[in-house]
Amino acid sequence: MAFITLNKAHFFHNLDLLCAKAGGKTKLMAVLKDNAYGHDLRTMATLAHEYGLLRAAVKNIEEAESIDDLFEEVLVLVDHPTCKTLSPSISLATHSYEALQALPRGASIHLSIDSGMHRNGIKEAQIEAAMELIHEKEMRLKGVFTHFRSADELSGELFWQRANFERAKVKIKAIAQTYAMPFIAFHSCNSAALLRVSSIGSDDYARSGIAMYGYTTLHPLIATYDLKPVLALWAEKLSSRILKKGERVNYGGVYEAKEDELISTYDIGYGDGFFRFDGSRPIKMADGSFSKGRMSMDSFCLGGDAPNVCMFDDANPLAEQFNTISYEIITKLYPALKRVVI
């Protein structure tokens, strides 16, 4: 049966690096959204808790409820406003004034600020009205945050957005003091920003996602880091056979044996979330061997007869071949594939 291994030592190594950049374990929020970037939400949340992280962020309420017993706070980043009664440890990211209007009185929230990405968030001109509404509805404003659009690129936009967020922080802190609001946590750095800046400044913590799992899209001219990929995908042999010279294998027969050769079929296909390859270019496995022909929904062929083969332990080469990013390679993997912590 195909399976995924999760390297605990690599995960903790990455967290050591990120926490050192952020200023300690209390200064890092683990972003575990989308099934922990394909790694398995509960497994990675348990490891993050074991490491000593206190906060996590997820995609939706369902994800939050599955791990809220492990953290002091779980922030829901994407879900829609709800009147559902939630655990006191769960907070909702609020991305617009309309969302504030839709949420029930007393909701626990983090207010999103549009510092220049122009995807979500309250604009600076709306801050006063938003804070007034939060006060009127007796909401628990636990945090205020923003998101950077170009932290990994060779540009100065990160620092422009950071300055915009700092200006918003000053306004929010002054209004909060007027309303006698309790402590508000501010956070802005994603993985790329955290790796790029010298410190998180006056923020209370950073949010790290992809870097925890061993990847960064940070331009190498800015900085390089010894991040270690956590996930490896393994396939198990289904059958073996001798492919005679001139015989062709799998759909379309796009691979033809140049001589008699031993090949095997393995139990990973595009139905398991691996990118479908059409046989026009072979796909390189972690051990340097290459695929033979097209990938099917549930299987693919490879030379030799190894009982198990590691399809990848680093998503970057695959991302280059499929013209995408490491995020997509790992998040597409079928959630039901067995995960094994090593």
Question: CA-to-CA distance for 105 and 102, rounded, in angstroms?
Answer: 9
Q: Is 251 a catalytic residue?
A: yes
Q: Is 21 a catalytic residue?
A: no
Among 21, 27, 33, 292, which one carries the catalytic annotation? 33
Q: Is beta strand 28-31 parallel, antiparallel or unpaired with respect to 206-208?
A: parallel
- What are the structural domain ranges in the chain? 8-213, 231-341
> Residue 325: what pLDDT?
96
Contact in structure between 75 and 29 (CB atoms under 8 Å): yes
Output the pTM of the full model: 0.96
Nearest residue to 72 (alpha-carbon basis) of 23, 19, 29: 29
> Residue 81: what pLDDT?
87
Contact in structure between 248 and 279 (CB atoms under 8 Å): no
Contact in structure between 58 and 75 (CB atoms under 8 Å): yes
Among 84, 244, 245, 251, which one carries the catalytic annotation? 251
Q: Which fold has domain 8-213?
A: TIM Barrel (3.20.20)
CB atoms under 10 Å from CB of 97, counted, come to: 14
Residues 6+ apart with CB under 8 A from 59: 33, 34, 76, 77, 78, 79
Tallying the residues shown for the chain, one arrives at 342
Q: Which fold has domain 231-341?
A: Lyase, Ornithine Decarboxylase; Chain A, domain 1 (2.40.37)
List Cα–Cα distances, 332 to 3, 19, 37, 121, 259, in angstroms: 14, 27, 9, 27, 36
Contact in structure between 150 and 142 (CB atoms under 8 Å): no
Per-position pLDDT tens, the chain of length 342: 999 999 999 999 999 999 999 999 999 999 999 999 999 999 999 999 999 999 999 999 999 999 999 999 999 999 998 888 899 999 999 999 999 999 999 999 999 999 999 999 999 999 999 999 999 999 999 999 999 999 999 999 999 999 999 999 999 999 999 999 999 999 999 999 999 999 999 999 999 999 999 999 999 999 999 999 999 999 999 999 999 999 999 999 999 999 999 999 999 999 999 999 999 999 999 999 999 999 999 999 999 999 999 999 999 999 999 999 999 999 999 999 999 999
Q: Is beta strand 255-256 parallel, antiparallel or unpaired with respect to 261-266?
A: unpaired
> Residue 83: what pLDDT?
86
Residue the block writes with tokens 């400044």: 201
Helix axes of 41-51 and 8-22: crossing angle, nearest 10 degrees: 60
Angle value at C-alpha 333, between 331 and 337, nearest 5 degrees: 135
